Amino acid sequence: MNIDRNKIYQINDYTYKNFVGLTLEEVKLVWEWRNHEDIRKWMITKDIIPFENHCTFVRNLSERNDAYYWLFYRDNIPIGVLSIINVDYEHKEGEPGYYLSPYMANSGIGIEMQYYYKKLFFDELGFENLFGHLLWGNTNAYQLSRFFGAIEDKIIEIDGRKYVKMHTPAIEFRKLSGDKLINQFVKFNKQNPVKW
């Protein structure tokens, strides 16, 4: 498993630029997105983050081996943030996270974006398992995770909110064909309805 902060990764039409190499303009863009109401509502920490705190966070990432963040682009347009935290090199696993720009909401790009970010983690960086949790009731994120091979582990509570813990083994993700993802996802949803 090898993660290079200085490398700009390219998977199909997606480019991933590590936070430690962002320009000031890109840092401000990420900060604005993160503080947007439509993004904050899905975060564990829903507080507005001061710009100085955001800059300190970005600077400190260069000294960490357990967390990596990227601004990602599609066709040279910045569209979201991707991260992996709690990186365990011995077990080749980590906890991914992402959010699309608030201006990309309902753009229909979520399925494609998830497919390529998982290809980055599994095929380019060498992870064997991705784990994490998502907010109970976030049906879209839950169904997308399951579609890409995630296995539900248990329900947990953090600060009075319920979350679903899940993990995605690389072997499960690789069972999925990258062709006609939307058609496959629609079929999956019909066969696997969610009941919260």
Eight-class DSSP state of 123: I
pLDDT of residue 38: 85
Provide the edge-to-edge strand list for the sheet that holds 77-88.
9-11, 14-18, 67-74, 77-88, 93-100, 129-135, 161-169, 151-158
pLDDT of residue 19: 98
As a whole number of angstroms, the distance between CA 25 and CA 51 comes to 12
pLDDT of residue 24: 97
Each residue of 95-129: pLDDT tens digit? 999 889 988 877 878 899 999 999 999 999 999 99
- Are the C-beta atoms of residues 70 and 18 closer than 8 Å to each other? yes
pLDDT of residue 4: 95
**CB neighbours of residue 154 within 10 Å:** 9
What are the tokens at 52? 């100085």
pLDDT of residue 109: 85
pLDDT of residue 165: 96
Q: Please report the domains of the chain, with CATH numbers, ordered by start residue.
A: 9-191 (3.40.630.30)
pLDDT of residue 141: 85
At residue 40, φ and ψ (nearest 5 deg) are -60, -35
Rounded mean pLDDT for each run of 10 residues along the chain, 196 residues in total: 94 96 97 90 82 96 96 96 97 94 83 94 97 89 93 92 95 92 93 88
Q: Largest Cα–Cα distance in the chain?
A: 47
As a whole number of angstroms, the distance between CA 47 and CA 66 comes to 23
